[in-house]
Structure 1
C-alpha cells in the first residue's frame, strides 16, 4: 500500500495493518507490505495456526468487529478475506474478479480480498501463509 505524502506511515506493523484495514476493508484487492521485523513477532516454525488466532484476536480488538481464522480461501459474500504471508513465498491467483491476476506474496505481505473474491494459492516449500475472515459490519 502506498501511504500519501501527507500521511505518516504507522510506527509498528500492528498499527499499520489496522490502518490498512480501516482504509481498504470492503474494497480491494489490496496489498500491504510491512517494513522492518517480522510483524507477528513469532519465530519461524511456530506455524500459521497460532499466528492466525493471534492476529484474529488483535484485529477483533482494534477493529471492533468479528475476525476469525478462515478455513476457505474465498472471501464470503458478506465479508473479506485477509491473507498474510508468514514465512516463505506464495503465488496467489485471484478468482472471482473481472480479471484473473497473479500476486506474489513474500514474508510480511498482506493481501486483502473483497467480498466474493477467491484465490488459488501455490506455496513454495516451507511457506506459511495464514488467512483471516472479516465479515462486513
Structure 2
C-alpha cells in the first residue's frame, strides 16, 4: 500500500504557494502603477541625471534658469497632445483636423526638445574634453 505524504510536505507546498502568490502580487502591483505626470521638476531631474558630473550639473543649472520657458513649453505640448486625443474620439471623425492637430503637437514637442537640447549642447560645449569623453558611457539610449 502506498504511503501518504506527511503533513510536513503539505506545509512546505502551502508555504511555497503563499510565497509565489505574494511575489506575483507584488510584481503585478508594482508594474501596474500609473506613471506620475511629467512636470518641469521631473524633466529637469531626468535630463540632468542622465549626464554625470559637471555636465549634468551644468544642464540642471541651465534648465533651472529656463524653468518658466520649459514649463510653458511642457504645458503647451501636453495641451496639444490632449487636443489630438479629443479629435480622435470626436464624432464625426475629421481626418484633416486630426492631421493639423498632430502637426501642431509635433511643433510643440520640437519647442520643448529645443530647450532641453540647447541646455545639453551648451553644457557639452563648456565641458572639459575628459568630461565629454565620458558622455558616451554615461547612460543608455
State TM-score, norm by structure 2: 0.25
Q: Which structure carries more helix by proportion?
A: 2
State TM-score, norm by structure 1: 0.26
Q: Which structure carries more strand by proportion?
A: 1
Q: State the structure with more CA Rg.
A: 2
